[in-house]
């Protein structure tokens, strides 16, 4: 087992990707006294607004990656689509404690599913297709509903189509011809979606955040509620699956695994090698946030034992919700609002989130309903 390589403030943490996740990592790092450098092509991106330095360049610009690595003592990332050549370069300098393997797996749904299967985890039945005619063959054999997804590059429901019956086959075949490397999954019926957000240190210790229950609208996370209302059996299955994947992939840092729950059964959906939207509630509801714990892990500090301080709900603020969120902010002293400093407001763009915490779940629900009823 690897030993923790300790990096102390005021050393520099380099972050690849300057969106909201990088921003919240940077804020956590700044609180602790670190310096932060970010690589992102957009000048004054959300992370740059709170960082010490920005390198404004494309993510696959290897010269920019070299610059970031040279001025950082440790490098991390806010998204899984980091250029693998860049990741290998940083890993070879000894400055990427998370390694490149978790990126390679999570960039590709086929590799992700195969590793889940290898460790014996329950997943929806799946078929890999490389073009329209392979897609047609699979659709002739399976029963609907199903879903076709691109193997790489999709997020927030982009890059997938739900297939409810034979009428959708033509569209699915065109999709497979266009994207080439696709996965067709059986649609599992589920009672709820949950996520396990956890952090693993370089020496292999793991700290779990409370399991979160997630509600999506149009494939985009709408609400996370904690604690999730799941049985102990489901909880143990979810934790057990997580430990198996974390060890198999030698994960370092904060990581999230999304799952479907059907009765007492779970199916693993996908994973993210970074802090996750469904872990934002930890900022106010736990004694340590997913971001601070991530910084501790990559800097080789001992992980903090996680405690939930109060039940919580987190609601995403998309562009379409901005007016409501600002009206709520002006009128209410409940709710912790986070806005990410994005330049342009777009209807489905994640602009911020609000976390509600209270002594009871009922009170949290009431606070959420009050917010939802807020007139813009």
Residues that bind ligand AMP (CB under 6 A): 124, 147, 154, 157, 185, 187-188, 193, 216, 219, 258, 269-270
- For residues 336 and 135, what is the distance between their CA atoms, to the nearest angstrom? 46
Q: Helix crossing, 232-248 with 109-118: angle to 10°?
A: 110
Q: For the chain, state the CA radius of gyration.
A: 21
Shortest distance, CB of residue 269 to ligand AMP, whole angstroms?
5
Provide the token pair at 333. Answer: 């002293």
Shortest distance, CB of residue 193 to ligand AMP, whole angstroms?
6
- Name the pairing type of β-strands 12-16 and 35-39: parallel
Shortest distance, CB of residue 199 to ligand AMP, whole angstroms?
21
Q: Which is nearer to ligand AMP, 207 or 258 (CB)?
A: 258
Q: Which is nearer to ligand AMP, 72 or 269 (CB)?
A: 269
Q: Which is nearer to ligand AMP, 270 or 321 (CB)?
A: 270
Shortest distance, CB of residue 264 to ligand AMP, whole angstroms?
18
Q: Which is nearer to ligand AMP, 185 or 207 (CB)?
A: 185
Provide the token pair at 103. Answer: 């990126």
Tell me the HSE value of 298 on the side-chain side, using a 13 A CA sphere: 36
Of the chain, the end-to-end C-alpha distance in Å amounts to 54
Compute how many other C-beta atoms are within 10 angstroms of the C-beta atom of residue 170.
12
Q: Which is nearer to ligand AMP, 143 or 330 (CB)?
A: 143
Shortest distance, CB of residue 99 to ligand AMP, whole angstroms?
24
Q: For 182, phi and psi rounded to 5 degrees?
A: -130, 165
Shortest distance, CB of residue 237 to ligand AMP, whole angstroms?
17
The label of the residue with tokens 């007492």 reads 264
Peptide bond into 221 cis (omega under 30): no
Q: Which is nearer to ligand AMP, 187 or 208 (CB)?
A: 187
């Amino acid at each position: 087992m690897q030993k923790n390589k300790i990096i102390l403030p005021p050393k520099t943490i380099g972050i690849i990707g300057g969106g909201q996740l990088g921003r919240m990592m940077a804020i956590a790092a700044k609180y602790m006294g670190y310096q932060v450098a970010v690589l992102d092509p957009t000048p004054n991106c959300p992370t740059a607004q709170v960082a010490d330095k920005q390198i404004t360049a494309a993510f696959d610009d290897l010269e920019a990656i070299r610059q970031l690595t040279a001025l950082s003592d440790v490098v991390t990332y806010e998204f899984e689509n980091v250029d693998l050549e860049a990741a290998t370069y940083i890993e070879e300098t000894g400055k990427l404690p998370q390694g490149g393997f978790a990126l390679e797996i999570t960039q590709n749904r086929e590799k992700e599913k195969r590793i889940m299967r290898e460790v014996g985890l329950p997943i929806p039945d799946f078929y890999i297709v490389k073009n329209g005619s392979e897609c047609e063959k699979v659709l002739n054999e399976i029963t609907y509903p199903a879903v076709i997804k691109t193997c790489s590059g999709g997020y927030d429901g982009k890059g997938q189509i739900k297939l409810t019956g034979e009428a959708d086959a033509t569209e699915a075949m065109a999709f497979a011809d266009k994207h080439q490397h696709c996965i067709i999954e059986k649609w599992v019926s589920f009672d709820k979606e949950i996520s396990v957000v956890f952090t693993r240190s370089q020496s292999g210790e793991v700290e779990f955040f409370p399991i979160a229950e997630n509600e999506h609208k149009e494939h985009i996370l709408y609400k996370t509620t904690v604690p999730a209302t799941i049985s102990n059996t489901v909880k143990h299955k979810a934790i057990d699956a997580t430990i198996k994947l974390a060890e198999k992939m030698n994960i370092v840092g904060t990581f999230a695994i999304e799952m479907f729950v059907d009765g007492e059964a779970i199916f693993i959906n996908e994973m993210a090698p970074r802090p996750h939207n469904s872990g934002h509630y930890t900022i106010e509801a736990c004694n340590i946030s997913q971001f601070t714990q991530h910084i501790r892990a990559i800097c080789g500090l001992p992980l903090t034992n996680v405690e939930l301080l109060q039940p919580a709900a987190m609601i995403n603020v998309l562009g379409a919700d901005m007016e409501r969120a600002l009206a709520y902010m002006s009128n209410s002293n409940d709710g912790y609002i986070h806005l990410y400093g994005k330049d342009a407001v777009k209807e489905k763009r994640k602009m911020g989130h609000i976390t509600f915490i209270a002594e009871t779940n009922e009170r949290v629900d009431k606070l959420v309903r009050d917010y939802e009823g807020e007139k813009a």
